[in-house]
């Protein structure tokens, strides 16, 4: 097993050789990160005013709260995490993160935790790397908020989620950056036997925001859910590129993404479902709906199914449309103004994703952030 | 209250209403009857202000003012209410939030204070009880997963809460079993008053056994071809619309 330092050196060499992916890579076709290259300096450590989160990080460094670092973990945990890092396929941003990250911050406690990562103004990149590995048979809920001040910064986050036997792990991930800042999140999630992972991906604001998701269901009874809400206004782009791999029989997954786009904004959803040979009795569902409010708004939807077993249930659906004129008329016929009727219908569309957040306090925080940005989306 | 003068309307260039004249005084209930395709629903929707229909001629005078220039929401705020034949389901929009927003939009227009959620709920619960509606329906999404009868009751609940001056019941009897028909009719009858007028649009005489009209008009091919008292409904029930159709062709 190579050490973290050896893995970092290898990652650094690869980034130097291969650079970052761009539009010539199939999975990065729609994610145009102009002016972002490995030459961009790493954001410096800075103090910051926290907003009440349990854990507050600025430019990749822990400022408040307690997190363990990888070297303080038991050897079994260290080797589990490092072996997963070692076998991750090269995708540029993840390796860049590994080469530049200060350390690996590890969350091992069960329960509910609010984390906030903030990037200060400037042309620089932050490379936080977090591993979440709660105790087996526990329930953990994390609310991770990514913010950035105005400036051409990049938040390049790598997250590893490991749900061991019978563990329930919920993550609400919110990308809410200043309109000139961008973020790329690489999320690797592993659900072992009878484990459940639920991820809610909220991409609310920023020049370009992206989630690259790799989900693996490795034991019978494992369930993985990925829900997402992509908001767009002005020329903003949001992207979710997800691969869910059913590597064991009797595993289930559900993927639901909604986009609401105005002006010349765009969103891209790529949902790849892979079912391993002999992984029978698999149930995988995928749905992508987009609501276009502006004439120049664009939604790209790419469902991809790769099924190598024969006793499998897979469904996928995609729709792109505008606000239902019949519903608008109905609301207006009761005295509600056109602007308010539009707002009600847009919020209702978004609510279908937010309703899946089980923790009511977290849902409340998220709802108020979403509502705030929906005003920009609705009015264009 | 309402006067329709020589109203012509078309949809996608196809004329549907071809010169309607109608006068409805405050406190009166008029029924519009007619076979399928005669233009009954179009007339209702044009009064409500649906933009899919183009009015090519004529006027709709409501309380002394031509309302053709008003948007659908402005007409609603002025007191025009339509109970739809096919109420729209709106998943994700809570019935209570929707109805309270509507009630307060109308109250604001009338210069009244907004209802707080406690007072609103009290009134809504009472109205639901009168309609024999399950109180849980107020918490559900608007008409989402409602049966035909539940949707119609939800329309009447909205009528109760919005307190309109002119109520158009568009085929409210369709899809209702006899119990629901009685509940809806009782609620409508309780809502009748000297200041309030009703336009009851129906294909069948059945509804008019419960909601007694003052006048009946028969609509055919976009025109009112016959008007009369309540006895006209019984005549139509016996002879059907064939005589009307034959007379109109002649």
pLDDT tens digit string along A73-101? 999 999 999 999 999 888 899 999 999 99
Q: Which residue of B has its CA nearest to A338?
A: B73
Q: Does residue A86 fall inside a structural domain? A: yes
Whole-number pLDDT of residue B232:
87
Q: Does residue A250 fall inside a structural domain? A: yes
Shortest distance, CA B18 to any CA of chain A (angstroms) = 24
Beta strands in chain A (DSSP E): 55-58, 61-64, 68-69, 105-107, 111-119, 125-126, 129-132, 139-148, 154-163, 168-176, 182-191, 196-205, 208-217, 223-232, 237-246, 252-261, 266-275, 282-292, 298-307, 312-321
Q: Is B96 on the interface with A (CB under 8 A)?
A: no
Q: Which chain A residues contact residue B88 at CB under 8 A?
A: 324, 326-327, 329-330
| Radius of gyration of the CA atoms of chain A, in A | 20
Look at residues A177, A235, A231, A223 and name the one whose alpha carbon lies nearest to residue A199. A223
Shortest distance, CA A86 to any CA of chain B (angstroms) = 44
Residues 178-237 of B with CB under 8 A from A: none
Q: Does residue A101 fall inside a structural domain? A: yes
Residue B29 phi/psi, 5-degree rounding, is -125, 120
Residues 55-84 of B with CB under 8 A from A: 71-73, 76-77, 81-82, 84
Q: Is the ipTM of this complex over 0.85?
A: yes
| Disruptive mutation site among A229, A323, A334, A354 for chain B (greatest number of B CBs within 10 Å) | A334
B102 and A335 in contact by Cβ < 8 A?
Answer: yes
B50 and A329 in contact by Cβ < 8 A?
Answer: yes
- Euclidean distance between CA atoms A144 and A175, whole angstroms: 9
Q: Which residue of A has its CA nearest to B101?
A: A336
Q: Does residue A240 fall inside a structural domain? A: yes
B101 and A336 in contact by Cβ < 8 A?
Answer: yes
Task: Kindly state the helix (H) or strand (E) to which residue B14 belongs, with its residue range.
Answer: strand B14-24
**What domain count does chain A have?**
1
- Residue A191: strand pairing partners: A163, A217
Looking at residue B205, what DSSP letter applies? Answer: S
Sorted by sequence, the CB contacts under 8 Å of residue A71 that are 6+ apart come out as A4, A78, A103
B49 and A333 in contact by Cβ < 8 A?
Answer: yes
Q: Which chain B residues contact residue A331 at CB under 8 A?
A: 90, 93, 98, 102
Give tens-digit pLDDT for B114-165.
Answer: 999 899 999 999 999 988 898 888 999 999 999 888 999 999 999 999 999 9
Q: Does residue A371 fall inside a structural domain? A: no
Point out the residue among B50, B73, B81 whose CB comes nearest to the CB of A336: B73
What does the pLDDT profile of chain A (380 residues) look like in tens digits? 899 999 999 999 999 999 999 878 888 989 988 888 999 999 999 987 777 899 999 999 999 999 999 999 999 999 999 999 999 888 899 999 999 998 999 999 899 999 999 999 999 999 999 999 999 999 999 999 999 999 999 999 999 999 999 999 999 999 999 999 999 999 999 999 999 999 999 999 999 999 999 999 999 999 999 999 999 999 999 999 999 999 999 999 999 999 999 999 999 999 999 999 999 999 999 999 999 999 999 999 999 999 999 999 999 999 999 999 999 999 999 999 999 999 999 999 999 999 999 999 999 999 999 999 999 898 87
**What's the token pair of residue A323?**
């606000």
CATH number at residue B107: 3.40.50.300
Q: Does residue A233 fall inside a structural domain? A: yes
Whole-number pLDDT of residue B149:
87
Whole-number pLDDT of residue A22:
83
Task: Kindly state the helix (H) or strand (E) to which residue B103 belongs, with its residue range.
Answer: helix B95-109
- Euclidean distance between CA atoms B65 and A96, whole angstroms: 70
Measure the CA angle with vertex A288, ends A159 and A127; round to 5°: 20
Q: Which residue has the tokens 């034959």?
A: B246
- Residue A90: strand pairing partners: none
- Euclidean distance between CA atoms A176 and A51, whole angstroms: 14
**What domain count does chain B have?**
1
Point out the residue among B91, B93, B105 whose CB comes nearest to the CB of A335: B105
DSSP assignment of A218-261 equals -STT-EEEEEEEEEE-TT-EEEEEEEEEE-SSS-EEEEEEEEEE
* Structural domain harbouring B28: 2-249
Q: Does residue A225 fall inside a structural domain? A: yes
Q: Does residue A265 fall inside a structural domain? A: yes
Shortest distance, CA A195 to any CA of chain B (angstroms) = 30
Q: Which chain B residues contact residue A336 at CB under 8 A?
A: 73, 98, 101-102, 105
Q: Give the A-side interface with B, CB within 8 Å.
A: 324, 326-327, 329-338, 340-341, 344-345, 347-349, 351-352
- Euclidean distance between CA atoms B114 and B108, whole angstroms: 7
Q: Which residue of B has its CA nearest to A355?
A: B92
* Structural domain harbouring A260: 4-322
């Amino acid at each position: 097993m190579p050490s973290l330092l050896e893995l970092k050196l290898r990652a650094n060499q690869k980034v130097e050789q291969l650079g970052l992916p761009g539009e010539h890579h199939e999975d990065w076709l729609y994610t145009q990160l102009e002016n972002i290259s490995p030459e961009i300096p790493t954001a410096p450590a800075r103090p910051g005013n926290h907003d009440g989160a349990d854990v507050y990080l600025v430019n990749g460094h822990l400022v408040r709260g307690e997190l363990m670092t990888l070297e303080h973990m038991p050897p079994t945990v260290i080797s589990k995490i490092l072996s997963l890092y070692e076998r991750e396929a090269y995708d540029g941003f993840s390796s860049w993160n590994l080469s530049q990250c200060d350390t690996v911050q590890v969350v091992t406690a069960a329960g509910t935790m609010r984390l906030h990562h903030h990037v200060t103004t400037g042309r620089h990149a932050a490379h936080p790397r977090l591993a979440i590995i709660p105790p087996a048979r526990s329930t953990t809920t994390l609310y991770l908020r990514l913010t950035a001040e105005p400036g051409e910064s990049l938040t390049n986050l790598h997250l590893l989620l490991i749900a061991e036997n019978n563990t329930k792990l919920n993550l609400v991930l919110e990308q809410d950056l200043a309109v000139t800042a961008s973020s790329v999140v690489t999320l690797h999630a592993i659900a072992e036997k009878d484990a459940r992972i639920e991820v809610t991906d909220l991409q609310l604001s920023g020049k370009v925001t992206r989630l690259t998701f790799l989900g693996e269901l490795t034991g019978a009874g494992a369930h993985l859910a990925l829900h997402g809400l992509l908001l767009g206004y002005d020329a903003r782009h949001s992207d979710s590129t997800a691969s869910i791999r059913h590597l064991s029989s009797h595993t289930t997954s559900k993927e639901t993404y909604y986009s609401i786009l105005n002006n010349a904004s765009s969103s891209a959803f790529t949902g790849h479902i892979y079912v391993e040979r002999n992984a029978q009795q698999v149930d995988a569902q995928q749905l992508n709906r987009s609501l276009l409010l502006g004439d120049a708004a664009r939604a790209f939807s790419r469902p991809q199914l790769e099924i190598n077993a024969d006793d499998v249930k897979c469904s996928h659906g995609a729709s792109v449309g505008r606000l239902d004129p019949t519903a608008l008329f109905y609301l207006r016929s009761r005295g509600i103004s056109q602007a308010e009727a539009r707002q009600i219908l847009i919020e209702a569309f978004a609510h279908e994703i937010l309703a899946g957040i089980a923790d009511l306090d977290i849902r409340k925080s998220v709802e108020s952030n979403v509502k705030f940005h929906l005003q920009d989306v609705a009015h264009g | 209250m309402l006067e329709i003068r020589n109203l012509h309307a078309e949809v996608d260039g196809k004329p549907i209403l071809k010169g309607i004249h109608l006068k409805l005084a405050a406190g009166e209930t008029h029924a519009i009857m007619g076979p399928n395709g005669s233009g009954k629903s179009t007339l209702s929707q044009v009064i409500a202000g649906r933009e899919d229909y183009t009015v090519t001629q004529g006027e709709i005078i409501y309380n002394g003012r031509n309302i053709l220039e008003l948007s659908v929401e402005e007409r609603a705020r002025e007191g025009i209410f339509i109970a739809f034949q096919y109420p729209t389901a709106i998943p994700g929009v809570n019935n209570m939030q929707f109805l309270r927003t509507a009630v307060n939009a109308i109250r604001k227009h009338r210069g009244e204070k907004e209802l707080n959620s406690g007072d609103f709920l009290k009134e809504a619960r009472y109205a639901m009880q009168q309609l024999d509606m399950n109180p849980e329906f107020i918490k559900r999404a608007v008409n989402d997963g409602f049966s035909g009868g539940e949707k119609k009751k939800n329309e009447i609940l909205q009528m109760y809460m919005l307190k309109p001056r002119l109520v158009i019941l568009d085929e409210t009897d369709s899809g209702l079993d006899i119990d629901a028909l009685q509940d809806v009719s009782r609620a409508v009858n309780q809502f009748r008053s000297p200041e309030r007028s009703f336009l009851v649009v129906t294909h069948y005489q059945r509804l008019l056994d419960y909601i007694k009209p003052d006048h009946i008009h028969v609509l055919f091919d976009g025109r009112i071809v016959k008007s009369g008292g309540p006895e006209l409904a019984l005549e139509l029930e016996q002879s059907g619309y064939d005589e009307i159709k034959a007379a109109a062709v002649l």
